[in-house]
Structure 1
Amino acid sequence: FDKYKTKKEDDEKNGIELFEIIEIDSSKANDINAGIERGKVIGDAVNMARNLADEPACEVTPTKLAEVAKSISGIECKIYEKDELERMGMSAFLAVAQGSTQPPKFIHITYKPQGETRKKLAVVGKGLTFDSGGLDIKPANSMRTMKEDMSGAAATLGIMKAVSQIKPDVEVHGIIAACENMPSGKAYKPGDIIRAMNGKTIEIDNTDAEGRVTLADALHYAAQLNTDEIVDLATLTGAVVVALGQYASGIMGTNKELVDALKTSAEKGGERFWEMPFYDDFKDDIKSDVADIKNAGSKGAGSSTAGMFLREFVGNKNWAHIDIAGTAYIDKEIKELTKGATGAGVRAILNYILSI
């Protein structure tokens, strides 16, 4: 990502000028051409997600994400502003957003097929355009790359752009709660108790466990839609990085068939999803003495306890949570991936949609 570097004449890089596929069976030509075009669409979607996540937080604000969503052709787009969110009862999302001068934006993008609808899917992307940690502020080194805390949102936008072009027989909803988590006199505080959109109360144990708090309202919103499945993509926990490094995303959920299908789709796209433990016992770790649940568990199994928190907001929907904290943004080259944003989750989710 060198958009902001001053270009010199000798900096020009040569791209691919010619790409030839030789096949002696002419009956396969149409399938080959269709595959190439689909590959280009998916590649563009991945690069869209990468570029958004690589941009600095001063450029990609919640407002900018909303503008990008509105620019995608062939889909419906609804942007909810703060006053509307207050009326809807999205107090969890707004609690995280209130410390920042950047206005929050709740984005709902919808693609509906023209003919038969084989399935209805909601993709929910975490949209923290910058995460300072809030009043439980991060150390400086941990804050350096927090522009990428909206990688789930970036992936969701890339997915929706590709869906609008591929036009599958699947109804797809892209949902993003976009805001910043900043310290200020208006910021939410450790010990606060907030009521989420679904009526559950949340004790704020740590303001730096903010992503799950914004997702609480986003997932409940998604659960109210007439969808068959919900998948969320989120740079959610440092714990998943400890467990899996930068080599795999963690996945868990309420439906084994959905989780397995997503793992298969990830593998086909060159991604890795590793299924994390998701025992009911983890619910004990998010119990609160003063509210229904708290937003941070014990020190152990942090990825799983975060997932258990999210489960409180999906109702009885088939749901999968993909923690891309380790894979969304990498500090070294890994196989075909360069340093920086990777577009984690885009290929996997698109492959899953195309498999339906």
Structure 2
Amino acid sequence: MKITVRQGEIQKTKDEALVVNLFHSANPRPGGATGAVDKALRGLIGRVLISGDFKGEKNRTVVLYPEGRFPSRRVLLVGLGRKADFDLEAARQVAGTTARKLQSLGVSSAATVLHGAGAGDLEVEAAAQALAVGSVLACYRFDQYRSGNKKKTSALDRLTVVEHDKRRLTGIRRGIKAGLQIAGGVCVARDLCNHPGNTATPSYLASKARSMARRTGLRCRVLDEAAMRKLGMGALLGVSAGSAEPAKFIILEHGKVSGKGRRKPLVFVGKGVTFDSGGISIKSSTGMGDMKFDMSGAAAVLGAMQAIAELGISQPVVGIVPATENLLDGKSVKPGDVLKTMTGKTIEIDNTDAEGRLILSDALAYSQRYEPAGIVDLATLTGACCIALGEHASGLMSNDDDLAAKVESAAKITSEKVWRLPLWPEYRDQIKSPVADMKNTGGRYGGAITAAALLAEFVDKTPWVHLDIAGTAWTSKTRPYIPRGGVGVGVRLLVQLARTWSSRRA
């Protein structure tokens, strides 16, 4: 989608459709740009409001077809909801609702006002970014594996933001540009998640990372299994042993991450199990196809790294993806086996379906080489987190209150909800092993937390946040700017964290 900005009056704009908005109230009245359009329509919007059929409820739309000499064929009126409740997430949702409605009407080009930067009291640049993100992500579709006519509805190819105040144009353009870059990173993550496991193998992820690096200026290294073996990554290699697909360890670097005069980098680590059968502790066949999404953490890191590079964020950032399949054959790791990690610590395998924490243990250990300012890992790690928090929030566990607060702040801005769970020493006791330094499960109770307790063994004293995205990584329900399938959760949060970190010169 191409989004442009121009100065003008929305009521005089000629396009396939014009978009205006209205806050919800008992007796709504069109004002501002909406009032100007209503006047040009000789009170048509006002008559709709008087009828009571539309009162500006959030994400409700009305399509009007002007008569006479009005320059556009359609006017789309979208509700903003109550003014007191309006925020950036509402702006994203309204933009997404609008874009989806325009697509359903077969509109390929439309002009719109900027939602919420006037009476909604949003900062202009932030409102523009929200409009771009919501519009692009709402129009996302994944149909690469469909034969014949893939497009059931025409694409919304062009959106023009019309702004009367010349002083606001620069801020709007900056926001639109950033929003397009961030949404592009989310779409990369969604694509990677939605590909089936026979396409999105560890080697495929590595190939995509290399091409991304060439395109954006990131530095990329990919370690093969021989290099992993030399480094002592026995946990990652243990998981990959049952697959014919070789594991890959992907490293992307943005900015100066080493050497004199550097700023300590942020390190983002994403679980990259491209298909998870459960291994010897095999999963039920019901829903196993969804285990192609078990690399959603990896997808988020790759998508975020693209956006971070394109935005030119000054904060150095490293993205690390341990990528493997978890399958079963005669070479698979077995319950009762003991694996030696990169740090030398050993893990007894209690359940081969608790493989994500194994590959992350080596990735977190590797990240210590960068002496990072902070580490954030993302993983579809436990069903226990889904039980605890459902599909609406990711679980957050951390060894550092300051970093946890920064992640929570970023999540609030992007509306990728997180909820902090405790990580008390008592949970570490649940993963004690009689034969090794620890075991890879801690029993039924507190499963999301005991998984994090194992990961904490590999970050030493580095500030670290673990995000369990098992409940939020994919969805079967369409929301205003989130279609069914891979969500791309975490991309916007990581980008926001890096942007905020960049501004504070940590």
Q: Given the two structures, how large is their TM-score scaled by the length of structure 2? A: 0.68
Is residue 2:129 matched to residue 1:22?
no
Q: Which residue of 2 aligns with 1:166?
A: 311
Q: Which residue of 1 aligns with 2:223?
A: 80
Structure 1 residues 12, 113: closer, same or farther in 2, change over 3 A? Answer: farther
Deviation at 1:155, TM superposition (A): 0.6
- 1:305-344 mapped onto 2 (5 Å cutoff): 305-344=450-489
Structure 1 residues 320, 218: closer, same or farther in 2, change over 3 A? Answer: same
- Amino acid of the structure 1 residue aligned with 2:238: A
Is residue 2:67 matched to residue 1:67?
no
Q: Which residue of 1 aligns with 2:145?
A: 4
Counterpart selection for 2:179 from 28, 35, 39: 39
Counterpart selection for 2:390 from 215, 220, 245: 245
Q: Which residue of 2 aligns with 1:258?
A: 403
Q: How many residues align?
A: 355
Deviates more, 1:193-202 or 1:260-269: 260-269
User: What is the CA deviation profile of residues 74-132 of structure 1, one whole-angstrom value per residue up to 9, with x for unaligned ones?
Assistant: 01101101111111100110000010000110011101159x86551000000000000
Deviation at 1:287, TM superposition (A): 0.5
3-state SS in 1 of match to 2:430: helix
- 1:1-356 mapped onto 2 (5 Å cutoff): 1-8=142-149, 11-24=152-165, 26-72=166-212, 73=215, 74-112=217-255, 119-356=264-501
Structure 1 residues 301, 103: closer, same or farther in 2, change over 3 A? Answer: same
Equivalent residues of 1:269, 1:347 under 8 A apart: yes
Q: For residues 333 and 280 of structure 1, what CA distance do their matches in structure 2 show?
A: 40
Equivalent residues of 1:240, 1:325 under 8 A apart: yes
Instruction: Give 5+ residue unaligned stretches, structure 2.
Output: 1-141, 502-506
User: What is the CA deviation profile of residues 160-185 of structure 1, one whole-angstrom value per residue up to 9, with x for unaligned ones?
Assistant: 11111111111110101100000100
Equivalent residues of 2:163, 2:169 under 8 A apart: no
Equivalent residues of 2:143, 2:150 under 8 A apart: no
Instruction: Calculate the aligned-residue CA RMSD, in Å.
Output: 1.6
- Amino acid of the structure 1 residue aligned with 2:392: Y
Deviation at 1:278, TM superposition (A): 1.4
User: What is the CA deviation profile of residues 203-234 of structure 1, one whole-angstrom value per residue up to 9, with x for unaligned ones?
Assistant: 00000000000000000000122211110010
Q: For residues 16 and 267 of structure 1, what CA distance do their matches in structure 2 show?
A: 30
- Amino acid of the structure 2 residue aligned with 1:212: R
Equivalent residues of 1:76, 1:109 under 8 A apart: yes
Q: For residues 188 and 354 of structure 1, what CA distance do their matches in structure 2 show?
A: 41
Equivalent residues of 1:126, 1:153 under 8 A apart: yes
Structure 1 residues 21, 304: closer, same or farther in 2, change over 3 A? Answer: farther
Q: For residues 351 and 278 of structure 2, what CA distance do their matches in structure 1 show?
A: 9
Q: Percent identity?
A: 42
User: What is the CA deviation profile of residues 243-263 of structure 1, one whole-angstrom value per residue up to 9, with x for unaligned ones?
Assistant: 111111011111111111111
Larger RCO (alpha carbons 8 Å, 6+ apart): 1
Q: For residues 21 and 353 of structure 1, what CA distance do their matches in structure 2 show?
A: 31
Runs of 4+ in 1 over 4 A off after TM superposition: 116-119
Equivalent residues of 2:414, 2:493 under 8 A apart: yes
Equivalent residues of 1:250, 1:274 under 8 A apart: yes
Equivalent residues of 1:112, 1:172 under 8 A apart: yes
3-state SS in 1 of match to 2:496: helix
Equivalent residues of 1:119, 1:169 under 8 A apart: no
Q: Which residue of 1 aligns with 2:69?
A: none
Equivalent residues of 2:189, 2:302 under 8 A apart: yes
3-state SS in 2 of match to 1:145: helix
Equivalent residues of 1:223, 1:230 under 8 A apart: no
Q: For residues 249 and 333 of structure 1, what CA distance do their matches in structure 2 show?
A: 18
Instruction: Give 5+ residue unaligned stretches, structure 1.
Output: none
Equivalent residues of 1:113, 1:167 under 8 A apart: no
Instruction: Please say which structure displays the higher CA radius of gyration.
Output: 2
Q: For residues 164 and 268 of structure 2, what CA distance do their matches in structure 1 show?
A: 37
Q: For residues 150 and 191 of structure 2, what CA distance do their matches in structure 1 show?
A: 23
